[in-house]
């Protein structure tokens, strides 16, 4: 029970620490944004992608009957995977890539 309490406390602290990241300007990710992304957002994104994949596979027969396989795959698998794996560290959305420093 103590391990669960400690894990929940650490998760709560990580989320609490990463909340100010939402108020930061979107121009250049800060070190805090990158740290919060690495500790909280990326593992959460992996979990959401895995859960979406399971839901997609479970609903596949029904979406195939309705002809919505592409839309379902895009919403449940592709978009969460892109937000998790195709986004720069600390960026808010996929597709926002920083220019290389000269």
80 found inside a domain: yes
Domain that holds residue 78: 31-88
51 found inside a domain: yes
Which alpha helices (H) appear in the chain, and where do they start and end?
2-18, 31-36, 42-66, 69-73, 79-85
72 found inside a domain: yes
- Report pLDDT for 26: 55
- Structure confidence at residue 31 as a pLDDT band (50, 70, 90): confident
Q: Are 60 and 69 in contact (CB under 8 A)?
A: yes
Number of domains in the chain: 1
- Report pLDDT for 28: 77
Q: For the chain, what is the mean pLDDT?
A: 82
pTM > 0.75: no
């Amino acid at each position: 029970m103590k391990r669960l309490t400690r894990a929940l406390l650490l998760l709560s602290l990580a989320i609490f620490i990463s909340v100010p990241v939402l108020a930061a300007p979107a121009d250049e990710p800060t070190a805090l944004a990158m740290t919060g992304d690495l500790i909280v957002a990326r593992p959460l994104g992996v979990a959401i992608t895995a859960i979406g994949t399971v839901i997609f596979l479970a609903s596949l027969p029904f979406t195939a009957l309705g002809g919505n396989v592409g839309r379902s795959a895009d919403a449940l698998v592709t978009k969460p995977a892109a937000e998790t794996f195709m986004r720069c560290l600390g960026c808010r959305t996929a597709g926002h890539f920083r220019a290389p420093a000269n």
